[in-house]
Amino acid sequence: MSRLAVTRFCLELGLVAGIVLAVATASQAADQKVLNVFLLAGQSNMAGADSEVMEPGGFQQTEADRASRFTTAPLPEGDKSPQYLPWGEIRGHSVKNKLVHGPEVGFARELHAAGWRDLALIKVYANFSREVETWPWAQGGTLFEAWTRFVDARLAELREQGYEVRVRGFLWHQGIDDAIHKKLAVSYQQNLTDLIGVLRKRYADDQAPFVLARSVNSRIAQPQPDPQNVSPMAVVRRAQVQVGESVPHAAWIDVDDLLNVNTHHFSAAGQLVIGQRYGKSFLELQKKRK
């Protein structure tokens, strides 16, 4: 074979190898399943505190629960906490040795009913003390650092299993701590607005829906009547509405009509409704995406 023929043969062989590699890569990418990830965060009502599951036989799973992936943990301990729940189906989780659930159940069921599949929910929850000087949820704060570390680790687990992860939105139920703290109440609107921007930039895009629940008018934060609505609790509640109505692609849901247990928590039935409202609000925001 002449040198020219050998050269041509090698070029053709390289071209074929390149085509085979490209096809194999494209096939592998096509086989990679996309997971629709949602990040949930807040304090005790996001945790599902006091929403003890009283159904006979415990938590009754539905098709939506079995089809969804869920993981949760308190902060700042994260996956070092005995209450850490690794990836699995939605089936309730333990808080203070009680089987409870937060809004994740109603949310997953609402999206499943709307045709969404391959859901993966990452939930964290935490409280902070009156002694903090800066908002712990803010970028660089102790809770923010623990939260993002937990989320990053859970997303890495999904990728290691061969999934493509896409963060579709955020659910937030937090604010009573700020009212109890009092000094942080006046900064709540700006703090939360800034956090939304940081989260979207880190995990999603600037149109990723962010749905927050307005905090209940907690008697712990505001034990005395407040007819003028000037208390720190009232300030936080107004700020939450302002964020939901002023930040693009954000919304707020009302939970004032739901029965409270143990001062300002919700029953399991109430948490189901909260989750459904989160789901409906997310779906409305999703429709408006460009």
CB distance 104 to 70 below 8 Å: yes
pLDDT, residue 31, reads: 61
pLDDT, residue 254, reads: 98
The reply to whether 71 and 51 lie within a common domain is yes
pLDDT, residue 134, reads: 94
The reply to whether 173 and 280 lie within a common domain is yes
Which run of H or of E encompasses 23?
Answer: helix 3-31
pLDDT, residue 22, reads: 43
Angle between the 268-287 and 104-113 helix axes, to the nearest 10 degrees? Answer: 50
Q: Distance between CA 213 and CA 282 in Å, rounded?
A: 12
The reply to whether 105 and 2 lie within a common domain is no
CB distance 173 to 218 below 8 Å: no
pLDDT, residue 14, reads: 53
Residue range(s) defining the domain that contains residue 17: 1-31
The reply to whether 23 and 47 lie within a common domain is no
The reply to whether 78 and 1 lie within a common domain is no
The reply to whether 66 and 91 lie within a common domain is yes
The reply to whether 15 and 93 lie within a common domain is no
pLDDT, residue 20, reads: 39
Question: What residues contact 247, with CB distance under 8 A and at least 6 apart?
Answer: 193, 196, 210
pTM as predicted: 0.89
Burial 227-242 (b: 16+ CB within 10 A, else e): eeeebbbbbbbebbee
Q: Distance between CA 288 and CA 290 in Å, rounded?
A: 6
pLDDT, residue 4, reads: 53
The reply to whether 180 and 116 lie within a common domain is yes
For residue 116, what is the domain's CATH number? 3.40.50.1110
The reply to whether 104 and 176 lie within a common domain is yes
The reply to whether 24 and 62 lie within a common domain is no
The reply to whether 25 and 155 lie within a common domain is no
The total of structural domains in the chain comes to: 2
Mean pLDDT, consecutive 10-residue stretches, the chain (290 aa), reads 53 47 41 92 97 88 98 98 97 92 98 98 95 94 98 98 98 97 95 98 98 95 89 97 98 97 95 98 94
pLDDT, residue 58, reads: 86
